[in-house]
Amino acid sequence: MRIIPAIDIINGKCVRLSKGDYSTKIIYNENPLEVAKMFENHGIKYLHLVDLDGAKSSHIVNHKILEQIASKTNLKIDFGGGLKSDSDLKIAFESGANQITGGSIAIKYPSIFKSWLEKYGSDKIILGADALNEKIAVSGWQEDSNVDLIPFIQNYQKEGVKYVICTDISKDGMLQGPSFELYQKIISQASNIKLIASGGISTFEELPKLAEIGCEGTIIGKAIYEHKISMKDIENFILNN
C-alpha cells in the first residue's frame, strides 16, 4: 500500500481544515516545498497536493507551488482542487503533476471528465469520490449532491477509471480513525478498483488494517502534522512493504 502525505494549500501556505470547513484552517508551514522535501527525506515517493484556493474559485490557482515541488523533488504528485477546464489540466500537467484528481467536475460535467480520461488515460486521471453519508459532495465539499457513492464509482469504472480517492468527509481532519467499513464495501462492490483511502487516519496501527482491506494507497494529513504518526514509523512501513 502506498503512503501518500497530503499538502493542502491556501495563500501559498501549507494548511489543514476539518471536514472541509475553511473557517477551521490551521497553518502548519509557510513553505510547502520545505514540507515536501521533509517527506522525501523520509523515503516518501508520493504526494497528494490540493489547491484549496482553486477548489473555492473553480480554477487552478496554486500551480506555481506545484511547479516548485515537482522541479525540486522527485515526488510523484497527484494534484487536485478547482480543475474545471482543459486549460486547467494542461497547466497542472505542464507544472509537473503526474496525476490529477477530478471530483466536482465528474458530477457536474461528466462529458468533460470523460474526455480527460480519453485524452490522458486512466493512469493519469483519478476520480475524486468524496462523500458524506455515502452521498457525493462537490465544490470543495461546500455542496451536497444526491448521487450515491458506490454506483457513482461503478459507473465511472465502466468508463475506464482505475484510481479512486475516497474521503469520508465526516472523518476528515478529525483524527478519529478512517471509514474501514465504507472502504471494505467499495472494494467488494467495485472490483479491481485501486482505492486510495483518505480522511480520519489517526494512528499508525490503522495503516496495516487499510492495507489488509485492500486499499491501494492511503492519504495522511493531520496525523503527520499533529505528530500522531511519526515519520520514522512511516519510513519503516514503507521499507517493510
Active site residues: 8, 130
* All three cell numbers of 129: 469520490
Burial class (CB in 10 A: 0-12, 13-18, 19+), 48: buried
Please check whether residue 128 is in contact with residue 152, taking contact to mean a CB–CB distance below 8 angstroms.
no
Cα angle 238-207-30, degrees, rounded to a multiple of 5? 75
* All three cell numbers of 74: 522527485
Please check whether residue 221 is in contact with residue 20, taking contact to mean a CB–CB distance below 8 angstroms.
no
* All three cell numbers of 112: 468533460
* All three cell numbers of 146: 444526491
